[in-house]
Structure formats: structure tokens, C-alpha cells
Amino acid sequence: MHRQRALAAAALAASMTAAACGAPGDDKGDSDSGSGPIKLAVVNAQSGQLSSLGAWELKGAKLAVSEWNKRGGIDGRKISLKVFDDQGDPTVGTNLARKVDSQGYIAMIGTAESAVTLAMAPVLRQAEIPNITSGQAPAMPELGSPFLFLNGPTSDTYDETLAKYLVDTKGMKKIAMVTNNGSFGKGEHDAFMAALTKRGVKPLTDQVVTTEQKDFSAALSKIRAAKPDVIFLGAEEVESGLIVKQARDLGIKEPFAGAAPQGTPVFAKTAGTENAGGTIVSTPYLSNESSPAAEKFAAAYEAAFDEEAELHGAKAYDGTNIVLTALKNSKVATGAKLAEAIRDTKYQGLLGDFAFDKTGVGIFKTDIGQIKDGKLVAID
């Protein structure tokens, strides 16, 4: 009896091991073969503090792919989209880059975090897999990878527009800065500092926080003592929200100014709608009403996901459309040829007219908006 049970257990264990071994290696199909669906990978954070970004990105990419599939795909082939969770972690990202390669995906959408994209870029470059990212750190184009493209402007563009508005238009010279030391925050810091230096403005104080920090009273006390007109904020959505919330608690009433993260609902919700009011935002996608194309996109997005569209979904939608257009133009080329095709794609997107330069940046313009009642509106 005992023996039988042991045997059964052993058999069960063996079958489980077999199943476990079988799981990772599934799907070894090769899409270079010219038949079957065209395989695109979406790599983005689906868990962790940055997962709201990843969720928006995925929705934008899904919407674009489903529209193309409805129109019959490319060359009679359907497009398949598979999502990988990078958890916002560069180490996980590099592993996923190898997976994307070994499982035969021909292009990758994502990620939304510059740090992860930077970590993945060398592997993808070696594997010759074009990658269109939503990150905005200037360090990415500086890599000079011919396979890396950005679906939006870099921090240089965001912060030059912002500095131009704050200093030149509004005449604000007393500026304090708080940025985090991650890839995104560092990019924002350097870009905004360069834009200020160009205008002969020196920030009153330049505070750096970590990406994991939760208590900002030291940095905020120094900012409060410096009495600035405006505070430049370079951190991701949730951290930016926490900083603004704590700043208001400490009695700092001056407005904050920043780039993409400060335009999102997550930022406004974390900070509290009232606290976030008045935040000045440099963004390439002001609102869902800014153009007929944006209105159409927003309606389709809402119908598909029962949720209001915002910048990151729009960026991923543009990025995915660019890749798909390039695939169509090149008759489903792969590798270096596909990268060339992406570079040659001129695309009128939600963010503006894309025309890629040799560093992989396709758009060089943002607008200034302001948060009112938790929503981003064009500045009057």
C-alpha cells in the first residue's frame, strides 16, 4: 500500500517536472519563415509601482494591433501580440530580451522605463530586433543603436519647451529642482539644467532623491527655505505624487512643473486632486480633444477598455502603428531591413508628425498644459 502510494507520488512528481520543463520552451515558431502570424512582443511592467504605465502601454499597443487585424493584417498575415512583464526591473528586462530573441519575435514594443530599455538595448541590438520604446531619457539615443526608436520626444525636448515657457514667457527666475537618481530622473535633471544654463538661470537648489524614497522632508525643507517661484519635478508618476503631497503638507504653495509623468491621472490621484492643481506640464499629447485623430483614438480606446485614454496609451498606439506601417512598407522584412523601414516611415500620429533621425528620435515638439481639477488642460 505504502509502496503504491510512493510510486504514485513519484509518477506525479515526474509528470510535473516534465510539464515544468516543457513550459518555458513552448512556441519556438520562427516568424521569419514568411507564413503564420507576425509576432510582436510587448515588454512592460505589469506589476510593481510602475505597472500603471505598463498597463496603458499594453492597451495602446493592443488597440493598434486589433485595428490592423480587422483590416486583414499585413500581406494576408495576422499580427499576434504577446506581453512580457519586466516588473520595471532592468535585470528582468535583459532576461526578457533574450527570450524575445529566442522565441522569434520580429519587433518589440516597450518598455515604458528608460532604465529597462537601456538594459535591454545591447541584447536586442545584437539580435537585430527593432525596439520602439516609450522611455524619454536622452541616454537612449546616445547609445546609437540602429535598432532603438523612441515613440515620443526625449527629455531634452520636454524640458527645453518647459524652460522656455517658465523663464522666457513667464519670467520666472527663481527655480528649485527635485529629481530622482533613476535613468528617467537623471535624464530630466540634465536636460532641464542644460535648458536653464542656456538661459543664464541657476536653480536656487538642486535636490536629488532616490527612486525608492518615501520621506522627502529633508529635500522639501531646503526647497521651502529657498522660496522659489516654481519647483521643477523629475520623477515617475507615483513618486512625483508623493513629493507634491508632502510638499503641500509642509506648506509649500508654489506650483510644480515637469514632463510626462505629471500629466497622468496616477500622479494627480497620488498627490490628491487639490494638491496637484496648477502643476505645469510639458507634454506632446495635451488631451483627447486636441485633434480629430486624437478624438477618434480616444473613442476607440474607451470602447475597447472602458477607460479614458491618456498620453502613454497614445504613445504606444503611435509606436505600434509605426512598426506595423514599416512592416507593411517593407513586405514584412526583419532585422536590419525592418529597422531601416522604420527609420524611413513618415507617420502622422497622435503626438505629431514622426520623421526619425539617425538616433531613433522621431518627434521634437511638446506643448505646455496645466492641471485643473485633476485633469490636464491647455494653458490659457
Partner 1 sequence: MQIFFQTLVGGLSLGAVYALVAMGFSLVYRTMGLVNFAHGNVVMIGAYVASTFYLTVTLPFIPAMLIALAVTGAIGLVIERVLRPLENKDFTLMLIGTIGFGIVLEALATLIWGATGRAVRNPVQAAPVELLGLRIRTYDLVVLAVAAAATVALVLFLQRTKRGAAMQAVAMNHEAATAVGIHVGRSNAVAFGIGASLAALAGSLAGPLLYVSPTMGGTLGIHGFAAMAIGGFGSIPGAIVGGLSIGVLGSYSAGHFEGYSELVTFLVFTVAIMIRPTGIFGETTVNRA
User: Percent helix, strand, coil in the chain (nearest 5)?
Assistant: 50, 15, 35
Residue of 170, 173, 269, 328 that binds partner 1 (CB under 8 A):
269
Stretch of 15-23, 95-103, 245-253, 330-338 contacting partner 1, by CB under 8 A: 245-253
Strands 38-44 and 79-85: parallel
208 interacts with partner 1 by CB under 8 A: yes
241 interacts with partner 1 by CB under 8 A: yes
**Cis peptide leading into 359, omega within 30 of 0?**
no
Q: Which helix (H) or strand (E) holds 121?
A: helix 114-127
Determine the Cα–Cα distance for residues 320 and 326; give it in Å rounded to an integer. 10
SS3 102: helix
Determine the Cα–Cα distance for residues 189 and 27; give it in Å rounded to an integer. 42
Q: Which of 291, 236, 301, 253 is nearest to 57 (CA)?
A: 301
Stretch of 118-126, 266-274, 281-289, 305-313 contacting partner 1, by CB under 8 A: 266-274
214 interacts with partner 1 by CB under 8 A: yes
Residue of 6, 9, 30, 47 that binds partner 1 (CB under 8 A):
47
Stretch of 95-103, 240-248, 283-291, 308-316 contacting partner 1, by CB under 8 A: 240-248
Stretch of 41-49, 100-108, 168-176, 351-359 contacting partner 1, by CB under 8 A: 41-49
Interior CA angle at 258 toward 142 and 143, to 5°? 5
205 interacts with partner 1 by CB under 8 A: no
Contact positions with partner 1 (CB under 8 A) in 51-90: 51-52, 55
238 interacts with partner 1 by CB under 8 A: yes
218 interacts with partner 1 by CB under 8 A: yes
The smaller minimum CB distance to partner 1, of residues 52 and 154, is found at 52
Residue of 31, 44, 46, 366 that binds partner 1 (CB under 8 A):
46
345 interacts with partner 1 by CB under 8 A: no
Q: Which of 137, 138, 141, 151 is nearest to 184 (CA)?
A: 137
Cell of 64: 493598434
Q: How far is the CB of 215 from partner 1 (least distance, A)?
A: 5
SS3 350: coil
Residue with grid cell 522569434, as numbered in its chain: 104
Interface residues with partner 1 (CB under 8 A) are 46-49, 51-52, 55, 180-181, 207-210, 212-219, 221-222, 225, 238, 241-242, 245, 249-251, 269-272
